[in-house]
Structure 1
Amino acid sequence: MRSDEVDAVDTRLGTRLAELRAEHGWSLGELAERSGVSRSTLSRAERAETSPTASVLNRLCAVYGRTMSQLLSEVEAAPDPVVRADAQRVWQDRASGFVRRSVSPPHPALRGELVEGRLDAGADIAYDRPPVAGLEQHIWVLEGALEVTAQDTVHHLGSGDCLRMRVWGPTRFRCAVAEGVRYLLAVVRP
């Protein structure tokens, strides 16, 4: 994805984050208290001065009761029922080495979605809470190896392995292999 395309997504995302905060009638301070994200980080994200990390977006999604795909789909035009591979939205957390491709055509009224995730070697992403409590996830490793920690249980997944879980608390995704990992994440809202 070109840098200007990523910047445009960050700009639309920042605008949407500011709209959500305004819809709830919260100040930056109130949102910071609810999300555990600093006021300065929230302000910079809303002004698109920085691209929020996956962890920050996860915290904001939890506060707003949305999955990350729902939030990202809100910054796009009304979707077609088919999304071609070259039109699938890609979002990057440059700080952690995480790339997220929304494979499913986005639709806020549907409960399921498919997401392709890629983690660079050494990438380690910790989420302190699910965006929606009780979220069902199926993680199918396509290439490489992935370590997923959920409810204090560590799952070591290799190519072809699939983990199904309900997310109620903190989770962690870690890639300890040199070639990185590519996986498919099926998400089903409760």
Structure 2
Amino acid sequence: MGDDLEARLAERLAGLRAEHGWSLDDLATRAEVSRSTLSRLERGEISPTAALLGRLCAAYGIPMSRLLAQVEPEPPQLVRAGQQPVWRDRATGFTRRSVSPPHPGLRGEVVEAVLEPGADIGYEQPPVAGLEHHLWVLDGALELTVGGTAHAVGAGDCLRYRLWGPSRFVNPGPGPVRYVLLIVLP
């Protein structure tokens, strides 16, 4: 994520908290994130990890893609490959490309993701209860746990599920896993 995008994300996160009328302590309690981390994040002093953004999105009740879309300009109907926003969480080895940037008036979007070998990302709760995912693995293998049920998803496989509780994405290796995620709001 570019510096300009990170600055807009920091500003948007501060704005969301203000819109909800929450103090840093209120948000820290709701998202189970330290007050100091939230403060540094909102000031743009640190870059968020996927897990941290997941916690914040769950607290605000919005999918991560919607949050990221709010800091991007209005998406055009045709999005060329070189113009698709890419976000990287270097700490966890997660790369996310918004193939079809979300739009407030639409319910679905397409995301391409890559997890490096050994990547392990857990989300304690969905950003929106009942969020529907269609996960299609293009290359590699993914271990996905949704609501306590583990799934081994290999190249060419597609898993459809709804998010009601925790989820965990693990790349057991040896190479990266690349997948497409179709996200549909309930």
Q: Could you say which residue in structure 1 is the equivalent of 2:146?
A: 150
**TM-fit CA distance, 1:105:** 3.2
* Whole-angstrom distance in 2 between the partners of 1:26 and 1:137: 30
List gaps (5 residues or longer) in structure 1: none
Listed as ranges, the matches of 1:58-137 within 5 Å are 58-137=54-133
* Whole-angstrom distance in 2 between the partners of 1:154 and 1:34: 27
Task: Give yes or no for the alignment of 1:27 onto 2:17.
Answer: no
**TM-fit CA distance, 1:128:** 0.3
Number of residue pairs matched?
186
Aligned-pair identity in percent equals: 62
Q: Could you say which residue in structure 1 is the equivalent of 2:164?
A: 168
SS at match of 2:114: strand
Q: Is the 8 A contact 1:81 1:105 kept in 2?
A: no
Q: What TM-score do the two structures reach when normalised by structure 1?
A: 0.95
Q: Give runs of ≥4 in structure 1 deviating > 6 Å.
A: none
**TM-fit CA distance, 1:126:** 0.4
Within the candidate set 7, 10, 19, 1:14 is matched to 10
* Whole-angstrom distance in 2 between the partners of 1:8 and 1:97: 22
What is the aligned-residue RMSD (CA, Å)?
0.9
Q: Is the 8 A contact 2:86 2:98 kept in 1?
A: yes
* Whole-angstrom distance in 2 between the partners of 1:122 and 1:106: 29
* Whole-angstrom distance in 1 between the partners of 2:66 and 2:99: 13
CA offsets 1:58-88 (integer angstroms, 9 cap, x no match): 1111121211111001001122111110000
**TM-fit CA distance, 1:179:** 1.2
